[in-house]
Amino acid sequence: MSPPSACTLAELAQRTGAALEGDGSVSVTRVGTLERAGPGDIAFLANPRYRAQLAGTRASAVIVAPADAPHTPLPKLVSSNPYATFAAVAQILMPAAPVVPGIHASAQVSDGARVAASASIGPYAVVEANVQVGARAQIGAHCFVGEGAVLGDDVMLRPRVTLYARTVLGARTLIHSGAVIGADGFGMAESDGRWIKIPQAGRVVVGVDCEIGANTTIDRGAIDDTVIEDDVKLDNQIQIGHNCVIGRHTAIAACVGIAGSVDIGANCRIGGAAMISGHLAIAAGTTISGGTVVFGDIRAPGTYTGTFPIMPYRDWQKAAAQVRQLAHLRHRVAALEQAWQAGAVADDGTDGMKGDSR
């Protein structure tokens, strides 16, 4: 990342499309939180929980929604989406470091690889035969890029990324350290008490503008490809099984596990530590809360939650014990209903319950 660069508020308004209110000549160099920002910083208010901090912030300028603009005298950028405007401002103030073209002397690059002259390959990286590396792409130290892989323009691999053979990465995709893309899927057939490995012949194909977090793993397909569509954002330590399809503009938080052959639609949100069983379909526009376990298809978009609300441990023990009794209670209720119905049609002339003496 390049050193922070100073911008006036007027320049930021022009470049982000936000409305300027107040002194546009105010110069800022950093972004910060309302609570901790100081002179030279620009802070933002996107979550109403922090509205009380707006009055006391020491920032030189703020980014706010129209409804919050009257509540601060500071120079400001006014936006209907303050968080997105903050993201754009942060990119302006903290631009990515320019790519320094070249192949480090310690890197091993096959003669059969095609590497753009503007690309960068770092120390001890390995690039095998028939690999294509696009313009301004960056391959960090100790990365491995397997035979026939394709890296689009402006792809960035942080140090120690592993791309198995024939993996395809679209333009501007960023992959963080420790990620493994294209390893064998978990394909086994059982026979006579032993497991027989099924060769994994597919690829992993990642679209443009994707981001894949540290230590995330994506398995290649068994027959067809595993596909990560455009603008998908994957957090750290996610597991995606073979033959999955992750629809465009979907975001998945850390520690999610997705079994094989899951088809997740576009514009989905999946919270941290959610678990999704194999061979399921998740409708476009679905939100799955953190910690939720999904065992069946989700065919209609909406928010789905399967976690038990937090409570003190002893209360949880009592609640769990009661839940375990539900099946037994259900059978008892069914038996009582049957007895009541039998009494309701009795021939004793009562109004429905045997032994009724009224």
Q: Annotated active-site positions, please?
A: 242
Matching residue, tokens 């095609």: 114
Query: Residues 165, 150: contact at Cβ < 8 Å?
Result: no
CA angle (180 as vertex; 265, 307 as ends), nearest 5: 50
Dist CA 147 CA 253 (whole Å):
30
Instruction: Tell me the C-alpha to C-alpha distance, in Å, between residue 162 and each of 86, 159, 176, 179, 186.
Output: 32, 9, 10, 6, 18
Q: Provide the token pair at 258.
A: 């997705």
Structure tokens at 34: 């309302």
Q: CA 353: distance to chain centroid?
A: 59
| Contacting residues for 26 by C-beta, under 8 A, at least 6 apart | 8, 9, 60, 61, 75
